[in-house]
Amino acid sequence: MVMNAITPIRTPAEQALIGAFGALRDSGPASAALEGLRIDGFSRFEASGLPHRRVEDWKYTDLRALMREARPLAGAPDASVLLAAKVAVGRLPRVGGSRIVLVDGFHAPDLADGGALPEGVTVSDLAAAMAQRPEISALVTGQPATRANIAFALNNAFLTEGLLIEVAPGTELGHALDLVSITSDGAPRLVTSRIVVVVGAGASAGIVETHLGPAGVEYQKNVVMQVVVRDGATLEHGRRQIEGDQALHLATLEASVGAEAHFDSLTLTTGAAVSRSQLFVRFAGEHSNVTLRGVSMLKGRQHADTALVMEHAVPHCQSRETFKHILDGEAHGVFQGKIIVQPVAQKTDGRMMSQTIMLAEGPSMDNKPELEIFADDVACAHGCTCGELDADLMFYLKARGIPHKEAEALLVEAFAREAIEDFGGGPLAVVEELREAMLTSVTEWMRART
Amino acid sequence: MPAVQETVEQVRAIDIDQYKYGFSTDIEMELAPKGLSEDIVRYISARKNEPAWMLEWRLDAYRRWLTMREPDWARVDYPQIDFQDMYYYAAPKSNAAPKSLDEIDPAILETYKKLGIPLREQEILAGVAPENRIAVDAVFDSVSVVTTFKEELKKSGVIFSSISEALHEHPELVKKYIGSVVPTTDNYYATLNAAVFSDGSFVYIPPGVRCPMELSTYFRINEQKTGQFERTLIIADKGSYVSYLEGCTAPMRDENQLHAAVVELIAHDDAEIKYSTVQNWYPGDSQGKGGIYNFVTKRGDCRGARSKISWTQVETGSAITWKYPSCILRGDDSQGEFYSIAVSNGAQQVDSGTKMIHLGKNTRSRIISKGISAGRSQNTYRGLVSAHRRATNAKNFTNCDSLLIGNACGAHTVPYIESKTASAVFEHEATTSKVSEDQMFYCMQRGLTQEEAIALIVNGFVKDVLQQLPMEFMVEAQKLIAISLEGSVG
């Protein structure tokens, strides 16, 4: 986007973000490692402001309009906040092995649960690791496409702490890591968190993120996860976004997948008033495969956007993207997906599908499934459908005595199941647990409809 | 398929660097002073002896254009156009209102003869069944030189003339409809066109009339350093039907020439318009030197209930193509169709597609787009399908496939699918592939050469679209596809 030479008029939210950055800077220096990131992120934000509908990538999620105010930055939680968080997190059924908890974006080791970390897994401070290991620094800086993204830039600008999770080469985890990120009750704030996951060569791991927070509070959350799946490794990644109903949730997942590696990611979205899930995934080694999937169930006036860029930068890789939207009320769903095949990426096999079911007259859905192909020996496809539940199928079920609402629920579950069903494939017990948890959420969501 | 042999011969005989229509005609021309200003707009309007309201309309567009920015969102890359370095009006000097073909400069007639466009009605009549006749409006640079079969069409009540003529003979129709589908404010090139358009075709089909023959316009750019800005306006009144063909060529030159046209179609209740284009502007040489910039705004308005507009296009020419023939499905139960083959080779850049805007109830649309990229070309499909909240039971089916030949080209798909109503059913599918080795092996094992095999496979790939073309164009289109693919065996 070419920017005008004219100084743009700052919205109140932009002014608040600029102010917050100044205050953060004045409050004392960040570690040297984070300082560079912060300045880079802030200058990118300052140059372009919040993205709006004239910025192509944000065409359907006009952040300038949707983010009217910027909340003050969340500080490290005190004892009472931690206690309240402990109670809330305790109510959440575990879907994996060891639980790692973040409160308001800060690591809360005291809230860890489910026993000690399994052998081969280490959790450490990101800034410290960046200072000592240039490869971690480089990784945190991000790929060019991610760096150009404003949500990512804002995450950099307000980064005070990060977490590095490493799985040693060859490790095989029996259970996934259960990562819970909770926002505390009280005055609404802006939460920023950063997690880097490195799965060593030949290792096999799973990680499940759950994002939640209080209802009725207009808190804002900007989370970034950067993943490296090294050669021959496998990572199953699950994500549940069940934020409070007034929340604004921006999530970025960046992944780099090595040779003969496997990455499978499933996102379930039911929470937040406004949310955007961004995925930037790149093949870095040959003969690998990636599956990206998502189910978004939205009601009322919820807005949820999935924006993904799948980049085939090397030959012989396979990617599958399957996204489902179930829309009720006056909800607004957005899917923007792009498969890029670089000139060298011959023998690429990529398939992207976005499907939507509307359960009421009010919702709207915007789809933009893009292909950008520079190599000739490839097979790429995308598909997109949008409509209401099939009247014939409904009739069939009702003719067999199934009440209208149940018939609807059955069809919706079957629709969502397509994306969830074959998730994983790794040896992890948690994959099954997560799959079940996701399907239960679908059922409960349908049941809660009035 | 019997046609394939024909295309294969074309492949053998013609090289991309030998664009068949690349000759130029040496003829005395009257040119407006170079550059663009209010005076030029007044000059064009005065040359055409236009009514005052038309001049005002043009000037209004021109003033607006000055405030607009050139769009940069398309996937095309070209040096800044110097709008002051071209002529906005070029007319053959001898063309002072010819009464019959005999008064037209023989050099022009010769040009059209060479292009294979019949302008003499008696020549067309010989040996052709009446229903297969085609009426032609021949546009040479900035002016329409002749329109054939006008008298015969008049008998059915059909008005077919150049738009300049229509402005004098049917000002009320022109005033009512011009700019009603593509307003002067629409986009940079449409606004420019509104200010400086010099000629084009006008068609009006009265209620209940099925146009007795195919209508066509043949656009020819001849003069150097000129831009061609034509405007076509087709109105199909209630219950009428018309099929309209458009063809275009230009000489081979090292310079880039601008072609910025506007086409407006209006279909009233139960009317149907079928609009076919074979676009074969000079594409530049294989190194990307020269060629036409084809920046065109085409839009149809299905204004009436049960109306139908169908676009078919075969795009093989132009250095750069930027065009999105669209349908506004305003009337209930109206239908829009878009069939396209875009073949790019050499250094061509194509960014083309369609928009189907569903506003009325039970509206239906279908998009079939086939893109073939070869050489170092970039071929993008960009399309929008949208359903308004009131467009209940709207249906769309989109299929856009790309075929890549060689490893230096690119094929891209950028669809926008926006639905605001639950009962709208949208289906979209797109695939990209290369001519498969298996298919090639199968064909060659049966004795076909590599070129023959490619031609066969590609013709199979684009068959869906070719079938939509009127007979005369189908043959032409098949030949064109073969020409553009020459040298693409990787």
Q: What is the DSSP string of B382-434?
A: EEEEEE-TT-TT-EEEEEEEEEE-SSS-EEEEEEEEEE--TT-EEEEEEEEEE
The per-residue pLDDT for range A126-170, each reduced to its tens digit, is 999 998 999 999 999 999 999 999 999 999 999 988 999 999 999
Domain annotation covers residue A382: yes
pLDDT of residue A354: 95
A258-288: b (≥16 Cβ within 10 Å) or e: bbbbbbbbbbbbbbbbbbbbbbbbbbbbbbb
CA distance B475 to B230: 26
CB A370 to CB B413 under 8 A? yes
Do A151 and A261 lie in one domain? The reply is: yes
For residue B480, pLDDT over 50 is answered with: yes
For residue A27, pLDDT over 90 is answered with: no
pLDDT of residue B6: 47
Contact status of A392 with chain B (Cβ, < 8 Å) = no
Interface test with B, best of A53, A342, A371, A389 (most B CBs within 10 A): A371
Domain annotation covers residue A336: yes
Cα distance from A293 to chain B (closest Cα, Å)?
Answer: 18
The closest of B412, B361, B404, B413 to B384, measured between CA atoms, is B413
Q: Collect all residues of chain B within an 8 Å Cβ-Cβ radius of residue A376.
A: 404-407, 409, 434, 490
For residue B9, pLDDT over 70 is answered with: no
Average pLDDT over residues A269-273: 96
Point out the residue among B422, B425, B430 whose CB comes nearest to the CB of A363. Answer: B422
pLDDT of residue B456: 81
Point out the residue among B407, B409, B431 whose CB comes nearest to the CB of A380. Answer: B431
Q: Give the helix, strand, coil percentages of chain B, each rounded to 5.
A: 25, 35, 40
pLDDT of residue B27: 73
Do A372 and A425 lie in one domain? The reply is: no
Dig out the tokens for B59 from the structure.
């000037």
Specify which residues B328 forms β-bridges with. B301, B357
Report residue B137's pLDDT band, with 50, 70 and 90 as the boundaries: confident
CB A387 to CB B433 under 8 A? no
CB A383 to CB B430 under 8 A? yes
Do A304 and A327 lie in one domain? The reply is: yes
CB B431 to CB A379 under 8 A? yes
Specify which residues A178 forms β-bridges with. A99, A208
Contact status of B312 with chain A (Cβ, < 8 Å) = no
Final residue before a domain boundary, out of A348, A365, A388 = A388
Q: Where are the alpha helices (DSSP H) in B267-332?
A: none
If you measure CA to CA, which chain B residue comes closest to A334? Answer: B418
Task: Indicate the pairing of strand A121-125 with strand B262-267.
Answer: unpaired
Specify which residues B230 forms β-bridges with. B199
Contact status of B444 with chain A (Cβ, < 8 Å) = no
CA distance A419 to A416: 6
Do A346 and A430 lie in one domain? The reply is: no
CB A373 to CB B412 under 8 A? yes
The amino acid sitting at B427 is E
More confident residue, B127 or A246: A246
CA distance A307 to A311: 13
For residue A256, pLDDT over 90 is answered with: yes
CB B419 to CB A386 under 8 A? yes
The closest of B354, B463, B346 to B414, measured between CA atoms, is B354
pLDDT of residue B81: 86
Do A402 and A337 lie in one domain? The reply is: no
Cβ B6 vs Cβ B456: under 8 Å: no
Dig out the tokens for B399 from the structure.
């299929």
For residue B3, pLDDT over 50 is answered with: no
Do A380 and A394 lie in one domain? The reply is: no
Contact status of B417 with chain A (Cβ, < 8 Å) = yes
Domain annotation covers residue A264: yes
For residue B485, pLDDT over 70 is answered with: no
Q: Collect all residues of chain B within an 8 Å Cβ-Cβ radius of residue A374.
A: 409-410
Let me know if A343 is exposed, middle or buried by CB neighbors in 10 A (0-12, 13-18, 19+).
middle
Interface test with A, best of B417, B427, B485 (most A CBs within 10 A): B417
The amino acid sitting at A69 is E
Query: How many percent of chain B have pLDDT more than 70?
Result: 86
**Distance between start and end Cα atoms, chain B:** 25
Average pLDDT over residues B144-152: 76
More confident residue, A17 or B449: A17
Do A444 and A299 lie in one domain? The reply is: no
pLDDT of residue A339: 95
Cα distance from B67 to chain A (closest Cα, Å)?
Answer: 15
Point out the residue among A361, A375, A379 whose CB comes nearest to the CB of B422. Answer: A361
Averaged confidence pLDDT in chain B: 83
Average pLDDT over residues B254-282: 90
> Distances in Å between the alpha carbon of B206 and those of B159, B211, B391?
8, 9, 29
DSSP string of B201-227, one letter each residue: EEEEE-TT-B-SSEEEEEEE--STTB-
Report residue B18's pLDDT band, with 50, 70 and 90 as the boundaries: low
Do A281 and A396 lie in one domain? The reply is: no
The amino acid sitting at B438 is D
The per-residue pLDDT for range B359-400, each reduced to its tens digit, is 999 999 999 998 888 888 899 999 999 999 999 999 999 988
Number of structural domains chain A divides into: 2
* Tally of CB atoms within 10 A around A420: 25
Contact status of A395 with chain B (Cβ, < 8 Å) = no
Cβ B293 vs Cβ B23: under 8 Å: no
- DSSP code at position A297: E
Domain annotation covers residue A20: no
CB B428 to CB A384 under 8 A? yes
Do A312 and A418 lie in one domain? The reply is: no
**3-class secondary structure, A225:** strand
Averaged confidence pLDDT in chain A: 92
Final residue before a domain boundary, out of A336, A360, A388 = A388
CB A366 to CB B409 under 8 A? no
Q: Collect all residues of chain B within an 8 Å Cβ-Cβ radius of residue A370.
A: 412-415
CB B422 to CB A366 under 8 A? no
Point out the residue among A360, A372, A381 whose CB comes nearest to the CB of B431. Answer: A381
For residue A99, pLDDT over 60 is answered with: yes
Q: How far is CA A54 from the centre of its chain?
A: 23
pLDDT of residue B1: 27
Of A141-150, A441-450, B49-58, the range with the lowest mean pLDDT is: A441-450
* Tally of CB atoms within 10 A around A188: 22
For residue B490, pLDDT over 50 is answered with: no
CA distance A442 to A268: 9
Contact status of B157 with chain A (Cβ, < 8 Å) = no
Report residue B279's pLDDT band, with 50, 70 and 90 as the boundaries: confident
> Distances in Å between the alpha carbon of B432 and those of A316, A380, B243, B401?
16, 5, 32, 6
Element spanning B463, H or E: helix B463-466
- DSSP code at position B361: T
More confident residue, A283 or B343: A283
Cα distance from A199 to chain B (closest Cα, Å)?
Answer: 33
Cα distance from A380 to chain B (closest Cα, Å)?
Answer: 5
Do A323 and A189 lie in one domain? The reply is: yes
**3-class secondary structure, A136:** helix
For residue A3, pLDDT over 60 is answered with: no
For residue B125, pLDDT over 60 is answered with: no
Q: What is the pTM of this model?
A: 0.88
The per-residue pLDDT for range B316-338, each reduced to its tens digit, is 888 899 999 999 999 999 999 99
Let me know if A86 is exposed, middle or buried by CB neighbors in 10 A (0-12, 13-18, 19+).
middle
Domain annotation covers residue A216: yes
The per-residue pLDDT for range A160-207, each reduced to its tens digit, is 889 999 999 999 988 889 999 999 999 999 999 999 999 999 999 999
Final residue before a domain boundary, out of A345, A360, A388 = A388
Cα distance from B236 to chain A (closest Cα, Å)?
Answer: 33
Do A272 and A419 lie in one domain? The reply is: no
Of A67-81, A425-439, B78-92, the range with the lowest mean pLDDT is: A425-439
Average pLDDT over residues A93-100: 86
> Distances in Å between the alpha carbon of B8 and those of A335, B3, B461?
43, 9, 15
**3-class secondary structure, B327:** strand
CB A386 to CB B490 under 8 A? no
For residue A429, pLDDT over 60 is answered with: yes
For residue A331, pLDDT over 70 is answered with: yes
Do A229 and A364 lie in one domain? The reply is: yes
Q: Which domain holds residue A163?
A: 72-388
Q: Collect all residues of chain B within an 8 Å Cβ-Cβ radius of residue A365.
A: 417-419
Contact status of B428 with chain A (Cβ, < 8 Å) = yes
Domain annotation covers residue A291: yes
Domain annotation covers residue A15: no
Q: Looking at mean pLDDT, say which of B72-81, B288-297, B349-358 comes out highest.
A: B349-358
For residue B120, pLDDT over 70 is answered with: no
For residue B224, pLDDT over 60 is answered with: yes
Domain annotation covers residue A25: no
